[in-house]
Structure 1
Amino acid sequence: MSDRQLLHLLQLSNPMLPVGAYSYSEGLEYLVEQKIIGDREQLYSWLEQELRYGSIRTETAVMVRAYQSKRQEAREKEELIYWNEWFSAVRETKELRQQSWQMGQSLLKLLVSLEPDLAAIAKDIGNPCNYPIAFGIGAANWQIDIEATAIGYLQSWTTNLIGAGVKLIPLGQTTAQHILQDISAPLLMAKTKILTLTDEELGSCGWGLTIASMAHETQYTRLFRS
C-alpha cells in the first residue's frame, strides 16, 4: 500500500470524520444504565463477543462486498444497489438502520465533495445509502488494500464504542488505550474470518445488541442518539 493510500485509509477511519459516529452508542448507554457493563473488563468482553459473533461482522462483510462491487465496473451499479438494499433489510432495529443511513449519507456526500467523479455512483444508489456501502466505495475508489480497509473499518467501530464507554461508565483515557490494545488480537481474528465469509454465511446472533438498541430510545435521560 502506498503512502497516499495509507493516508486515505487513516482519513476514512478517523473518529473525527464528519459522519456523526461519536453521537451513537449502539445500545451501550442502555447496557451501562442496567449495570450489565460497568468496568473495563465488562466493556472488553462485550466488544470481543461482538467481534466474534455480532452484527459488526456482517456489517464489515457488506462493506467488503461494496468494495468489490466498486472494483467490478461491469456490474457495479447492480451490485451496490443490491447490497445496500440487503443491508437495510437485515438491520436489527429501526434505530440501527437509521444510524447506518445517516452516517452513510453523510459519508457519501463527503466523498462526492472530495471526488466529484463519484457523483454518478451516489445517484445510482440513491437515498438512503448505508454506511458500510459508502465506506467500501471510498476505499475502492482510493484503491486501498482490502485487508487494510477491513482492519480500518473494525478499528473505527471499536474506537467509537470505547470512546462511548469512557463517557458512560466512566473510564479514564489510559484505560481506554489498554482496551484498544487488548482488543487488537480479536479484531484481527475477526478480520480474517470476515474476508472468507460466503454470502450464505452472512448473519449474526446478537440478541443483546437488539434489545439494548430498542430499549435505548425509551431511557429517561440519554447522552447519545438512538
Structure 2
Amino acid sequence: MATPMPTNSALLALLQLASPSLPLGAYCYSEGLEYLTQQDIQTAEALEQWLTQELTYGAIRIEAALMLRGYRHHQDREQFLVWNTWLTAHKETQELRAQSWQMGKSLLNLLTNLAPHPHFIDLQAALNEPCHYALAFGLGAAHWQIPPESALQAFLQSWVSNQITAGVKLIPLGQTAGQRILLAMNAVIQAVYPSILALADDQLYSCSLGLGLASMKHEQQYSRLFRS
C-alpha cells in the first residue's frame, strides 16, 4: 500500500517525535530483554528473530494500535481516557506499566512545553492516571498533522531502535551489527504495519508468551543495567 508522505514540516516534527534523543528515559528500559539475553538471546541472529516475532505477533502491535487510537481520538477526551485505561489493564506486569506511564507522562509534559495548547492542559487535568506513551505519541503526531501511516512506522522503528540499543549493550554486539539488524527490521516493519493499521477494536490481542515472564523475572536477576 502507498504511504502518504508527510509535508516537510510534518516530517521534521516526526523525526523529532521519534528521536532517541527525546528526553523520555527510554534508554533505561529493556522490556525484559535483559533477562532474555541471559537465557536464549545471545547472538545477533537471535535478537533479530526475537524482534521479528514481537513485531509480527507481540505486544508492540497492540501498543502501535493504541497509538493510532490516541491519534484518532486526540480531540475526543472521553474516548482518549477510555483507551488510556484500557492500556493500563492490558499491561502484563507492573514494570511494563510503570515504563509506559513514565515515558507517557514525560512526553505529554514535553508536548505541553513545546507546543502549548489548552487541549493538552485540559487532558492532563482529566487523567486519573498517567498517560501511556503510545497514546501520548499519537497525540503529538496528530497535533503536528503527521500522516498516521508515517507515525505508525516511526513508532515501530523507534521501539526497534531502543531494543537494539539494549541488545548491543547486553549481548554484547558491535555497533555495526546493531545497525545491520535495524536495517533488516525495516522490511519487517513494512510488512506488518498495514495489518496493524487495519486492526479493529475487537482484534486487539497479541501472542507474546515470553515477554511477561521475562519482565517478571527481571527483578530477580543478580545484577541489572535496566529498569525493566
The answer as to 2:20 corresponding to 1:15 is: yes
What secondary structure sits across from 1:33 in the alignment? Answer: coil
Query: Aligned partners of 1:190 and 1:62: how far apart in 2?
Result: 15
CA shift, 1:177, in A, is: 0.8
Match of 2:190 among 179, 188, 191: 188
Q: Which blocks of at least 5 consecutive residues in structure 1 are unaligned? A: none
Question: Counterparts of 1:79-118 in structure 2 under 5 Å?
Answer: 79-117=79-117, 118=120
1:126 deviation in Å?
4.4
Inter-partner Cα distance in structure 2 for 1:82 and 1:11 = 27
Distance 1:198 1:64 in 2: 11
Q: Which among 209, 212, 215 is matched to residue 210 of structure 1?
A: 212
Q: Distance in 2 between matches of 1:122 and 1:188?
A: 33
**SS at structure 1 position matched to 2:52:** helix
Aligned to 2:66: 62
Report the equivalent of 2:3: none
Alignment correspondent of 2:168: 166
**2:181 equivalent to 1:179:** yes
Between the two proteins, the alignment pairs up a number of residues equal to: 221
Match of 1:200 among 185, 199, 202: 202
1:30 to 16, 27, 35: 35
Task: Please give the alpha-carbon distance, in whole angstroms, between the structure 2 residues aligned to 1:43 and 1:31.
Answer: 10
Distance 2:141 2:224 in 1: 33
Give the Cα–Cα distance (whole angstroms) in 1 for the partners of residues 194 and 45 of structure 2.
24
Would the aligned equivalents of 1:48 and 1:183 in 2 still touch at CA under 8 Å? yes
Instruction: Specify which of 130, 144, 147 is matched with residue 145 of structure 1.
Output: 147
Q: What's the offset of the Cα at 1:217?
A: 1.0
Q: For the residues of structure 2 that align with 1:25 and 1:39, how far apart are their CA atoms?
A: 16
Residue segments in structure 2 that go unaligned for 5+ positions in a row: 1-5
- How far off is 1:188 after superposition? 1.3
For 2:205, give the aligned amino acid: G
| Cα displacement (A) at 1:186 | 1.1
Deviations 1:28-83 (A, max 9, x none): 0001112x00011000000000000000000000000110001xx4xx01110000
User: Cα offset for 1:205?
Assistant: 1.4
For the residues of structure 1 that align with 2:73 and 2:35, how far apart are their CA atoms? 36
Q: RMSD value over aligned CA atoms?
A: 0.9
Using the aligned pairs only, state the percent identity.
52
| Alpha carbons 1:88, 1:97 under 8 Å: kept | yes
Matches within 5 A, 1:130-141: 130-141=132-143
State the Cα distance separating 1:122 from its structure 2 match: 2.2
Deviation for aligned residue 1:134: 0.5
Q: Tell me the alpha carbon deviations over residues 75-117 of structure 1, each in whole angstroms, 9 at most, x when there is no partner.
A: x011100000000001111110011000000000000011121
**Larger helix proportion, structure 1 or 2?**
1
SS in 2 for 1:116: coil
Normalised to the residue count of structure 2, the TM-score between the two structures is: 0.95
Shift of 1:201: 0.4
Aligned to 2:77: 77
Residue 40 of structure 1: aligned partner: 44
